[in-house]
A and B are shown apart, each in its own frame.
Chain A
Amino acid sequence: MRRPLVVAALVALAACAGVLGLRKSGPQPFPHRAHVLANVSCTQCHGQLDHDDGTALHVPEDKSCTTSGCHEKPHDTHACLDCHATPEALAQLAAARDHLAFDHARYLPRTHGDCMRCHNGVAEGDDHMRPAMATCFKCHDHDAQRDARKCDACHKSLEAGTDMPAGHLAHDGDWVHEHGVRAASSADLCQTCHAEKFCASCHGVTVAALPATQHFADPFTPSVHRAGFAARHSLEAKADPGACQQCHQPERCATCHRVKGIAGDGRTSPHPPGWVGITAAESSHGREARRDPAACASCHGGAGEALCVSCHKVGGVGGNPHPPGFSSRVRLTEMPCRMCHK
């Protein structure tokens, strides 16, 4: 019984290997290792490294394969790199050129043509063409720049956000919920890549449309308001009181509900039976107000607070609304204390 299942699982895995990225299909990574073993120097194919103007990709042309006497009779009429290099690797090269301020010509005299000092992972496949940042730090001491958050000596246009960090500061996992506590001690580090509009697009008072609305066509844009949030937002708010007020003003609930006809003039009370009763046991509004005070403030804030203090005042039938041990630095002559403590 177990054997057929194992066989079926292996067959399924093999069938899905290409989709899962376990087996490469289509163009194959360039065989750098074979060329190194054949004593072909890097600069023999990657020419013009000593004339680096920051725009060239230094990708070999077909003639560097054929005219050097190595591959005099190509087996195909297509360009060599159409099959012997992955499109992703070429895209990474272009991204690196756009993103990094790097001049190969400066390093050639120091490395004496030994490109492997930096490109030490090139034999492992095309995924390792761009050296990890730690490779740079083997020779370069950037502690001072790192402390000063000066990344622009090497990184161009970090604020454009075109290149997500992969090796360090990776934004994986539940980053939407985690970023607040991470940013608390390193907001300046966040600012090296993220412009003001990135924070303000969620945390601003004057937001026109949230990222989920602006990027409706991209389902992978991170946002807490994705998909059917409008339907489930009341459930999420009740499970996590105060979460909405981290970005929204309390009045936001009432404004939107009035517009959509869910609350406002002519509507019945949104409160369930037993909301206000004679005794505390018969009255649920106090408990609910303590559980989610911002929800109450949304409708009953400002002038609406008068409704509360009509009962909850010194000598009033509502009794003392403060919890045991309550203290405040607000003076009794100021709002909201003076509403009751006259």
Chain B
Amino acid sequence: MNRATTIALVLAVVLAGMLGFETSAHGDPLTLRADALATTQSPAGLVMLETDSKLSSTVSAEAVVWTAASPLPGEHAGDVLVIALRARTADGRASTQLGRFVAILGATRPLQIDGAAGRVQLPHAFYTEAYAGIPVLAGLGTGRAWDWAVGARIARKLGDYGSVGLAMMEQRDDGRLATEEVGADAGVAFGKRDDVAVKLAYDLANPAVADAEVTARHVHDRSLRFDLYAGYRAASHLLPATSLFTVLGDIPAERGGARVTWKAAPRLEISADAGVRYVEDDLAPALSAHARLALDDTSRSALTGEIRRDGASDDAWTGLSGAARIALPYALFVSTELELVIPDSDRTPGGRYRGRAWPWALAALGWDFSAWHAAAALEASSSPESRARIDALLQLGRTWSGP
């Protein structure tokens, strides 16, 4: 067992013990969940431990740690996904978070850090939030000095119908500027039927728009909904500024389209999406139609089907997929997922043969009884890398609650 695995397991045990000791009658019960996953694909074995608890009405904590029995070479055998302690004032006007978590501030990019974050309400419907910490390296790595990231956002609520915000973040790798980004975001509802959300991130290190997205929704009635969406992404601005590939300039990826969602019957929902992707000179359609039929009123059993057309230029493809989940007696259920991808060309742009169709199928049997959950599945596929492949997957988990 290497250092990372040891530290991960020790942290899990310490946190579980701490939460168990601190949990009081006025907090929610401590929950601890353990999952073991085994597959014939690497990583072959995985154990995950999750725990969370509300220590009081204003303090809560959670942790997720994992260890892999046979990780990919060069990857780590264990790590901490989350270990966070949250606290807030009784009136909810201020809150703070400490530990390892994903820091998200408005339109700036999400960043997993070891550090602290806080949020404070200000007068006149303003509020501000900020974080500071060390960007997480896989494997509990501490090899680099002077890695740090800070970010802050100020926002204002617009009555009951929306909010606008401005954010800024900076990240240093080994003391060198890796990311410097400002972002603007807004979400506004126009009455009960229409709303718009928009975000824009601007790269200050290599000045240019890095990412922009807008989505608008109209709810016609409870059974019919329309969405419009558009996005712009400059891939080189998502890389750290220390990379040579950020100074080449880039060809942005743009997309836009419309989607309609129709609840045709109480248990039947149909959606259709018509969009286009634009990358350099390639204008490619991105089309899909999806249907979901619930087989009972609680959706424990359901069927779905989808047809999709996507990809660009030589790499366009058409896909068909279907899935089913059927509840059985004795807390058992069976599920299956099928997919067939047909690329327009059976050869890569480099001329390598990749097959005419890539079928994929999975059949699973699950059991979800009280605190126990278990599942077994067989997965079969044909892909550009493997003409035929069959894998088995097993999962066993248990949840404890107490006291």
Chain A residues with CB under 8 Å of chain B are 19-22, 86, 88, 91, 143, 145, 147-150, 152, 156-157, 159-160, 172-174, 177-178, 180-188, 195-197, 199-201, 203-209, 213-214, 216-220, 226-228, 230-232, 234-236, 238-243, 245-246, 250, 255-256, 258-260, 262, 270-273, 286-287, 289-294, 296-297, 300-301, 305, 308-309, 321-323, 326-330, 334-337, 339
Q: Among A86, A217, A240, A293, point to the contact of B395 (Cβ < 8 A).
A: A217
Closest 6 CB pairs of A and B: A148-B92, A323-B249, A228-B360, A21-B266, A242-B235, A272-B350
A19/B293 in contact, CB under 8 A: yes
A297/B284 in contact, CB under 8 A: no
In the complex, whether B273 has a CB less than 8 A from a CB of chain A is yes
CB distance from B89 to the nearest CB of A (A): 9
CA distance A327 to B163 in the complex (A): 33
Identify which of B137, B249, B286, B375 gathers the most chain A CB atoms within 10 Å of its CB: B249
A186/B163 in contact, CB under 8 A: yes
What A residues does B202 contact at CB under 8 A?
A: none
Q: Binary interface profile of B, 189-217, with partner A (CB < 8 Å = 1, else 0)?
A: 00000000111000011110001011101
B82/A197 in contact, CB under 8 A: yes
Nearest A residue to B298 via CB reads A88
Q: Among A188, A219, A231, A239, point to the contact of B312 (Cβ < 8 A).
A: A239
A228/B383 in contact, CB under 8 A: yes
A199/B102 in contact, CB under 8 A: yes
A291/B265 in contact, CB under 8 A: no
B35/A214 in contact, CB under 8 A: yes
A187/B136 in contact, CB under 8 A: no
CB distance from A246 to the nearest CB of B (A): 7
What A residues does B23 contact at CB under 8 A?
A: none
Q: Among B176, B215, B271, point to the contact of A178 (Cβ < 8 A).
A: B215
Q: Binary interface profile of B, 103-129, with partner A (CB < 8 Å = 1, else 0)?
A: 011110110100000010100010001
Q: Binary interface profile of B, 221-254, with partner A (CB < 8 Å = 1, else 0)?
A: 0000101010001111011011111111111010
What B residues does A195 contact at CB under 8 A?
A: 52, 62, 82
- With contacts A230-B383, A293-B248 known, is A219 near B325, CB below 8 A? yes
CA distance A230 to B41 in the complex (A): 12
CB distance from B212 to the nearest CB of A (A): 9
A181/B362 in contact, CB under 8 A: no
A216/B364 in contact, CB under 8 A: yes
Stretch at the interface among B14-22, B142-150, B179-187: B179-187
Nearest B residue to A219 via CB reads B323
B187/A186 in contact, CB under 8 A: yes
B247/A326 in contact, CB under 8 A: yes
B266/A88 in contact, CB under 8 A: no
A21/B297 in contact, CB under 8 A: yes
A220/B81 in contact, CB under 8 A: no
Nearest B residue to A269 via CB reads B350
B62/A174 in contact, CB under 8 A: no
CB distance from A147 to the nearest CB of B (A): 7
A206/B138 in contact, CB under 8 A: yes
Interface size class of B (residues with CB under 8 A): 35 or more
- With contacts A294-B235, A322-B247 known, is A181 near B215, CB below 8 A? yes
CA distance A337 to B72 in the complex (A): 34
CA distance A173 to B226 in the complex (A): 9
A289/B245 in contact, CB under 8 A: yes
What B residues does A150 contact at CB under 8 A?
A: 91-92
Nearest B residue to A152 via CB reads B57
B298/A245 in contact, CB under 8 A: no
Nearest B residue to A22 via CB reads B265
A200/B101 in contact, CB under 8 A: yes
What A residues does B155 contact at CB under 8 A?
A: 185
A326/B249 in contact, CB under 8 A: yes
A86/B239 in contact, CB under 8 A: no
The B interface, classified by DSSP as helix, strand, loop or mixed, is strand
Q: Among A156, A184, A236, point to the contact of B310 (Cβ < 8 A).
A: A236
What A residues does B204 contact at CB under 8 A?
A: 329
In the complex, whether B133 has a CB less than 8 A from a CB of chain A is no
What B residues does A238 contact at CB under 8 A?
A: 311-312, 315
- With contacts A196-B84, A197-B64 known, is A291 near B279, CB below 8 A? yes
- With contacts A219-B325, A293-B239 known, is A330 near B298, CB below 8 A? no
What B residues does A143 contact at CB under 8 A?
A: 160
What A residues does B82 contact at CB under 8 A?
A: 195-197, 200, 204
B186/A185 in contact, CB under 8 A: yes
A309/B244 in contact, CB under 8 A: yes
CB distance from B388 to the nearest CB of A (A): 12
CA distance A242 to B279 in the complex (A): 12
CA distance A238 to B315 in the complex (A): 8
What A residues does B293 contact at CB under 8 A?
A: 19-20
CB distance from A262 to the nearest CB of B (A): 6
CA distance A336 to B343 in the complex (A): 38
B64/A200 in contact, CB under 8 A: yes
Nearest B residue to A328 via CB reads B206
CA distance A334 to B343 in the complex (A): 44
CA distance A209 to B139 in the complex (A): 15
CB distance from B70 to the nearest CB of A (A): 11
What B residues does A86 contact at CB under 8 A?
A: 297
In the complex, whether B96 has a CB less than 8 A from a CB of chain A is no
CB distance from A72 to the nearest CB of B (A): 33
- With contacts A181-B199, A291-B251 known, is A308 near B244, CB below 8 A? yes
Nearest A residue to B384 via CB reads A231
Jot down 27 A-B pairs with beta carbons below 8 A, ordered by A: A19-B293, A20-B266, A20-B293, A143-B160, A148-B92, A184-B183, A184-B185, A184-B187, A196-B102, A204-B102, A208-B46, A209-B37, A219-B337, A220-B304, A228-B341, A228-B381, A230-B383, A231-B381, A232-B341, A241-B233, A241-B250, A258-B73, A273-B351, A290-B248, A293-B239, A329-B180, A339-B244
What B residues does A246 contact at CB under 8 A?
A: 109-110, 238
What A residues does B121 contact at CB under 8 A?
A: 147-148
A294/B238 in contact, CB under 8 A: yes
Nearest B residue to A148 via CB reads B92
CA distance A326 to B247 in the complex (A): 8
A157/B28 in contact, CB under 8 A: yes
What B residues does A228 contact at CB under 8 A?
A: 339, 341, 358-360, 381, 383
Q: Binary interface profile of B, 355-399, with partner A (CB < 8 Å = 1, else 0)?
A: 000111010111000000001010101111100000001010000
B343/A200 in contact, CB under 8 A: no
Nearest B residue to A298 via CB reads B245
What B residues does A297 contact at CB under 8 A?
A: 239, 243-245
- With contacts A91-B298, A186-B187 known, is A272 near B349, CB below 8 A? yes
CB distance from A240 to the nearest CB of B (A): 6
A184/B112 in contact, CB under 8 A: no
